[in-house]
Structure 1
Amino acid sequence: MHLVPADQAHRHPIDEHRVCEAIEAIGEPTDVEQWAGRFALLADPGRLRLLRAIAACPQISVTDLAIAAGMNDTAVSQALRLLRVAGAVAGRKDGRVMRYRISDETISALLAQTQPSPEPARA
C-alpha cells in the first residue's frame, strides 16, 4: 500500500492492489483541479452555447455571438471575460470589434464531443 496517504493508512482495504491502482488513476490533485475547472466552464448552458459557437465559427464577434446564443451583449461579455481568464478563449481586436477563438485545445476536443450528430437522410 505504498501509494496510500498517511492519513488513510489506518484503514483496512479489501484489495490493496486496486487501492493503489485507483490512487494512481486519480493522479495529482492539481491535475484533478484543472480538469474540474474545465468541466465547470462547460457546465453552464450559456457558456457552453458560446463555446460551441466559437468552436464552429472562429473569429466571431461578441455581437454575433450574442445573436447566435440568444443572449444579450452584456451577458456574453461577462461570460467571455470568465472564459478568457480561464484560458479557454482568446480575443483579437479587429478595429473596434473583438473576435474570439478557442485557445485551449483540450476544451476544443471536449467541445467536439458535444456537437450534435447529423440527422440521417430520409428516404
Structure 2
Amino acid sequence: MHLVPAEHAHRRVLDEHGVCDAIAGVGDPAAVRDWADRFGLLADPGRLTLLLAVRAVPDLSVSDLAVAAGMNDTAVSQALRLLRVAGVVAARKDGRVMRYRLVDDTVADLLEKLPRPLV
C-alpha cells in the first residue's frame, strides 16, 4: 500500500493493489481540481450555450452572442469574463466592439463530443 497517504494508512483495505491502482488512476489532486474547475465552467447552461455559439461562429460580439444565446448583454459579459479569466475564450477588439473566440483546445474537444443538435 505504498500510495496510500499516511493519514489513511490505519484504515482497513480489502484490495491493497486495487487501492493503489485507483490512487494512481486519480493522479495529482491539483490536476483533479483543475479538471473540476473546467467542468464547472461547462456546468452552467448559459456559459455552455455561449461556448457552443462561439465554437460555431468565432469572433461574435457580446450583443450578437446575447441574441444567439437568448441572454441579456450583461449576463453574457459576466459569463465571458469568467471564461476569459479561465483561459477558455479570448477577446479581440474590433473598433469599439469586443469579439470572442474559443482558445482552449481541450474545451473545444469536449464540445465537439456533444451530440448535434442538443435536444
Residue 29 of structure 1 corresponds to 29
Task: Please say which of residues 105-114 and 16-25 is displaced more in the overlay.
Answer: 105-114
Q: What's the CA shift string for 1:64-118, capped at 9, x where partnerless?
A: 1000000011110010001111111000001111111111111111111124259
Partner of residue 64, structure 1: 64
d(CA) in 2 for partners of 1:70, 1:117: 17
Question: Equivalent residue for 1:50?
Answer: 50
The letter for the 1-side match of 2:17 is H
Alpha-carbon distance in structure 1 between the residues aligned to 2:69 and 2:87: 21
Identical aligned residues as a percent: 65
Matches within 5 A, 1:38-117: 38-116=38-116
**TM-score normalised per structure 1:** 0.92
Partner of 1:114, secondary structure, is coil
RMSD between aligned alpha carbons?
1.2
Secondary structure of the residue aligned to 2:99 is strand
Give the partner amino acid of 1:99.
Answer: R
**What is the alpha-carbon distance in structure 2 between the residues aligned to residue 43 and residue 26 of structure 1?**
21
Q: Which runs of 5+ in 2 are unaligned?
A: none
- For residues 85 and 106 of structure 1, do their structure 2 counterparts lie closer, same or farther at Cα, with a shift above 3 Å needed? same
Amino acid at match of 1:55: R
Q: TM-score, normalised by structure 2?
A: 0.95
* Count of residues in Structure 1 that have an aligned counterpart in Structure 2: 118
- C-alpha separation in 2, matches of 1:27 and 1:75: 36
How many Å separate the matches in 1 of 2:63 and 2:114?
23
